[in-house]
Chains A and B, each alone.
Chain A
Amino acid sequence: MALELTAARPYPALLDLPWSTPLEEWPEEILAALPRGISRHVVRFVRVEGRVMAVKEIKADIARREYGMLRMLRRLGQPAVEPVGVVAGRTTMAGEPLDACLLTRHLQFSLPYRAMLSQTLKPDTAQRLIDALAVLLVRLHLSGFWWGDVSLSNTLFKRNAGEFAAYLVDAETGELHDRLSTGQREHDLDIARVNIAGELMDLQAGGLIGEEVEPIEVSEQIMTRYRTLWEELTKTERFETGDRWRVDERIRRLNDLGFDVGELDITTDIGGTEIQIQPKVVDAGHHRRRLLRLTGLDVEDNQARRLLNDLDAYRAATDRQNDDEELVAYDWLTKIYEPVTRTVPASMRAKLEPAEIFHEVLEHRWYLSEKQGHDVAIEDAIVDYVDTVLPTKPDEKAVVGVDTESIPVRARTD
């Protein structure tokens, strides 16, 4: 059978990869790193036309299904890895059939949880990963996506102004419905809890995280975090007709959580004395969209919030409350944000994304100001940051190699 490539965008260099060799035996020189993580399948990272791509070997029908599912999730604006294509019809030189391969683009500056946790960052890193995963799960569930295999392994994390933003990596078991039943959501949560506990226990057994982490306690937090957020986003509120300000307040509360209200169901009772509101459609990315509109910068939501706060501070400091927001934003971008992020020497640009660096510089300025007992200018803060802080950070632009390995249950004939 002829090699069959399904791809949204053609990458001619894809055809040069050794498709007639089982993925496990691909030569090291074409791999971007020796990857691993817990996976049911063989997964490798390769460099194609200057991009890092993940290649997963699975049966053709499953590969095509997952490819379609990832495309659908991207179209729905969900945070998921970008599918590149499916290569099917593979055979060895001897004519033996090989499984198909699903290709996805590696998410720049993202990190697998194992890398995050074993870097021994702040002690509450595990907690913050769970928080990010809870937000992801709520977003997916709101869009009608049932994951079926929620786990830290199936998620990638990006820095998000000190917090993390989670991206779905594996949609193999996923299903898209019009709306999820409570049972489906609960099942996903249960899967998440068991997987997270297992993953943390495994890291502990391997000595990669300390004994002070309580895998079961941490894993249970996915349930509480998820439920709190779900409730806040979807609950119905009732109040007297006179209290209309509560509609605004609800919207503001959702905005604070990083969500926008796309549709709000407002009903009054027959007597007209009581109003009931329930958000029908909520979209994540409130701050992100606002920043994008004002400055053209596309960053994670918390980073956007941080940048917007600085923009507001700049506006107040320059006494331009009456000017057009867009004009002030343009000045802030060219006079503050870009000079700061451009100060980072090229040799250190693979360490963190510009928006995360900006966030860290703001933190650093606060720290310096407190130490010196007076305000430190951001221009001085960035210089000190680049001298003292940034060099100690690892490169995170393309972290794909982690010191673990895949244990495919999919047996060969041994």
Chain B
Amino acid sequence: MATVTYDQATRVYPGAETPAVDALDIAIEDGEFLVLVGPSGCGKSTSLRMLAGLEEVNGGRILIGDRDVTDLSPKDRDVAMVFQNYALYPHMSVADNMGFALKIAGTPKAEIRSRVLEAAKILDLEPFLERKPKALSGGQRQRVAMGRAIVRSPQVFLMDEPLSNLDAKLRVQTRTQIASLQRRLGVTTVYVTHDQTEAMTMGDRVAVLKDGILQQCDTPRRMYDHPDNVFVAGFIGSPAMNLLDVPVADGGVKLGSVVHPVERGALSGAGQRVTLGVRPEDLALNTDGQGIPVEVDVVEELGADAYVYGHTTVDDDQLQMIARVDGRTPPEKGSTVYFTPKEGHVHLFDPESGARLGD
């Protein structure tokens, strides 16, 4: 077990003008499950590979525990890339499928047996150890594949989009399995995905990257409640946060016909306009015709709730708006309804820099 530290770690590809990963600073705690997430090309995979030793580090350092591994070869880092190889060997028993990599590493037989047994207990595979993979169900086979990484008992597990070739149903199943397994094993894990839902449901903390730069690294809750900038605000959460460019008024921001009160401190650094963010569940229908006018395009009924997909017009621009409303009384398609944000649930950002305003 170990901590992992990215200390100003930078990767510049030969011939590239901007770094693929730019001065990354993350301190991952012992036993923590950290998810690197961001859109394609954000540097998340490169960051993982720098830790694995597959990408050179051009600046800064990477530490595992107290050990500087920046220039070590992959096999000397005591990390395991999980799920790179799913193949199970048909003629070998489950136990051999799990333990053969240890045999290659020259581990004594008795130790292989005890490590395989230990992993099998954690994975609920103990009764199947002597069987052939063919006799297992799909889910069990997948756990055998996980077992191959577990028996190596590395200091850090690395996973690069491990679920990308699974179908939707199995993806959700495996996601839960990996997360709970990681908690039981307590092995520090770095996990890469482009899917923010996966990131939010699995990680102890989530690190959002964009253009090689770390945007925010926080717990999923904090990330959701307190995005540091407008990019994170829009990236985290599904459906996405509504983001509107609105004028600043005395004591608040102007939303259509009303002034939504905002703490004075939040606006002290702001100019004439701010970017206002409000999540779909933080919008309330206003029956007095006050607030943001939204023309309803689609209503998605989910039973208890319904999502209203519509648009509002700001300075001749149509902006998409999404709101969660009571499923029993949703507005009709084509009608115009008014929304106001719930008090204390708006996020304000600088329209130029995108940085969060206020607390």
Contact = CB atoms under 8 A, between A and B. Distances in A.
Interface of A: 38-40, 58-59, 62, 99, 148-149, 151, 153, 173, 178-179, 181-184, 186-187, 190-191, 193-195, 197-199, 201-203, 205-208, 216, 219, 404-405, 407-414
B87 A38 contact: yes
B166 A410 contact: yes
B83 to A, nearest CB: 9
A404 to B, nearest CB: 6
A23 B265 CA distance: 63
Contact of A187 (B14, B54, B164): B54
B54 A409 contact: no
List the 8 shortest-distance A-B pairs measured between CB atoms, nearest first. A411-B138, A206-B91, A202-B89, A205-B91, A409-B86, A183-B53, A40-B86, A414-B137
Interface string B44-76: 000000001111100000000000000001110
Contact of B92 (A59, A191, A201): A201
28 contacts: A38-B88, A59-B167, A149-B84, A153-B87, A179-B14, A183-B52, A183-B53, A183-B54, A183-B55, A183-B74, A186-B75, A187-B54, A187-B74, A191-B85, A198-B92, A198-B100, A201-B103, A206-B90, A208-B91, A216-B104, A405-B90, A405-B134, A407-B89, A407-B134, A408-B141, A410-B138, A411-B141, A414-B137
Given A59-B165, A62-B164, A182-B73, A216 B91 contact: no
Given A148-B84, A411-B170, 7 more contacts: A38-B88, A39-B87, A62-B164, A62-B165, A183-B54, A198-B100, A409-B87
Given A38-B89, A202-B91, A409 B73 contact: no
Interface residues of B, number: 41
Interface in B22-62: 52-56
Given A182-B73, A410-B170, A195 B53 contact: no
Contacts of A197: 100, 103-104
A173 B52 CA distance: 16
Interface string B80-107: 0000111111111100100011011000
B69 to A, nearest CB: 11
B313 to A, nearest CB: 34
A161 B91 CA distance: 32
A409 B138 contact: yes
Nearest to A202: B89
Contacts of A199: 89
A407 B14 contact: no
A183 B104 contact: no
A208 B91 CA distance: 10
A404 B141 contact: no
Contacts of A216: 103-104
Nearest to B73: A186
Contacts of A205: 89, 91-93, 96
A409 B103 contact: no
Contacts of B89: 38, 198-199, 201-202, 205, 407
B328 interface: no
Interface string B117-151: 00000000000000001100111011011000000
Contacts of B137: 411, 414
Contact of A181 (B56, B87, B100, B101): B56
Contacts of B93: 205
A178 B54 contact: no
B165 A411 contact: no
Contacts of A193: 104
Nearest to A179: B14
Interface of B: 13-15, 52-56, 73-75, 84-93, 96, 100-101, 103-104, 133-134, 137-139, 141-142, 144-145, 164-167, 169-170
Contacts of A149: 84-85
A198 B92 CA distance: 9
Contacts of A62: 164-165
Contact of B13 (A178, A187, A219, A413): A178
Nearest to B75: A190
Contacts of A186: 53, 73-75
A412 B166 CA distance: 10
A190 B92 CA distance: 21
A191 B73 contact: no
Nearest to B15: A178
A60 to B, nearest CB: 11
A181 B14 contact: no
A150 B75 CA distance: 16
A205 B85 CA distance: 20
Contacts of B100: 197-198, 201
A407 B91 contact: no
B169 A407 contact: no
A184 B92 CA distance: 29
Contact of A195 (B13, B85, B103, B166): B85
B145 A194 contact: no
A148 B165 CA distance: 15
A194 B73 contact: no
Contacts of B53: 183, 186-187
A289 B53 CA distance: 38
B154 to A, nearest CB: 13
A219 B104 contact: yes
Contacts of B87: 38-40, 151, 153, 195, 198, 407, 409
Contacts of A206: 90-91
Contacts of A194: 85, 101, 104
Nearest to A203: B91
B231 to A, nearest CB: 24
B138 A412 contact: yes
Given A173-B84, A203-B91, A219-B104, A58 B165 contact: yes
* A40, A58, A179, A409, most chain B CB atoms within 10 A: A409
B139 A411 contact: yes
Contacts of A411: 137-139, 141-142, 170
Contacts of A39: 87
B104 A404 contact: no
Nearest to B166: A410
Contacts of B85: 149, 151, 191, 194-195
Contacts of A407: 87-90, 133-134, 141
